[in-house]
Structure formats: structure tokens, C-alpha cells
Amino acid sequence: MAHAPNHFLETLPVKLRGGVERLLDPDEELLWLGQPIPEAYGRRFIGCVVGGVLWLLFIALLAHSCASNPAPQPTSGYFFLGVLGLLGVAGCWMPLVGRWMARRTVYGVTNRRVFATSTWGLGLASWALPWEETGLPCRWRWHDGCGSLKFPDKRPRALADPDDSRHFGFHALPDVNRIYGLIEATWRGPSNSVTHVDKCVPK
């Protein structure tokens, strides 16, 4: 979902709105603010569903093997299989969890940086990349026009955290080409002259 940034900011839950406001400097201009499409964000976890189903089939085969064994089986063994089976059930629920996560995530673009903030857990998680520490993002666009952007981390290797770099992305955007165009125009400005970005999916 995408709206006029200042109006959309006022409609956010207090915790998310506070997270965005803490990231912004007083004189910083908010150019775009939006959230992932919940259904599309949930599709990122389809692999968890496949893995969960295969895991449940494996647990079912183990349970059948134990039940077919004429020797008495300890109750603790079935309890252990049940606990393992819950992992498969959790995997099958991940697309719904993804939808829940999408409604608690906000992406933003300003004249100084790109950022994201979320309230998935008990606290508030955020990241921000100033324009001088990133570049044009790689773009993935799906047939319905939505897609994702992944931003490069141009910080010196000694300062860059490999565990953080995978989180520098906007996922399941409603109109990825339009948002990419805004980012491109803002990032280039008068001082940048890059004419192409490797690994970007064509329009």
C-alpha cells in the first residue's frame, strides 16, 4: 500500500509512527512511505509450506513405523514425534505469519536515505541507509506489477555487517517500477552519473 507520505504517517499505529519519526531529522523531506502487500509478502514463505508438508510426511512415516513395530514403544517417543510435527505445522502457517508481518512493516524514502521499520516482536526493529552508503537497488518485478528492491551496501567492509545486508530491501511493493523511478531520480541527483545497475530485472 502506498499513500501521500505525511497523511499515511498519521494513520500508522503509534509504535510504527514513532519508529519512522525517530529515523527522520527535523529538516528531512519524506518523499514516499508505504507498506508491503500482505498477500504478496506471505508468498515469500511458500518454501516453508513445502518444507513443512514434507516434514509432516516424514514424521507420519516414522509414527507409522513405530506403530507397526510389535515391540512396546515408550510414550516419550510419540511425544517427541509430536513436538517435531509441530515444526511442520509451523512451516505451513508461515504465509499467514508473513501477512501479519507485512501489516507491521513500513518502508520509506527521503531526500537523505531509504529506511524500513517494523514491530514484528516485542520491540521496534529498523534499518536506514543514507544515499552515500548505497546505490540503485536491484529490482524484481512480478507479472502483476508488484515486486521487490534490494539495496547495495557501500559501507567499507570493516563497517558493514554481513548479517544486516540481507535485510536492506523493500519487499512485495505494490508498484515497484514507480517506486524504483522515484529512488533513481532521488539517488542520482546532480552529483551521481551512474547509467546502469547490474543484476536488475528489466521492466
- pTM beyond 0.85: no
Share of the chain above pLDDT 70, in %: 78
Cell for 17?
509512527
- The reported pLDDT for the residue numbered 167 is 64
3-state secondary structure of 34: strand
Instruction: Cite the beta strand spans of the chain per DSSP E.
Output: 2-3, 30-34, 105-110, 113-118, 125-130, 138-141, 147-150, 169-173
Q: Tell me the three-class secondary structure of 124-177, residue by residue.
A: CEEEEEEHHHCCCCEEEECCCCCEEEECCCCCCCCCCCHHHHCCCEEEEECCHH
Cell for 105?
512493516
- The reported pLDDT for the residue numbered 60 is 87
- The model's pLDDT over 140-179, given as tens digits with 9 standing for 90+, comes to 888 877 899 999 888 776 555 555 544 689 999 988 999 9
What are the backbone angles phi and psi of residue 114, rounded to the nearest 5°? -115, 150
Which residue's C-alpha cell is 509414527? 63
- The reported pLDDT for the residue numbered 195 is 38
Give the residue ranges of the chain where pLDDT is below 50: 1-2, 165-166, 190, 193-203
- The reported pLDDT for the residue numbered 37 is 93
- The reported pLDDT for the residue numbered 21 is 87
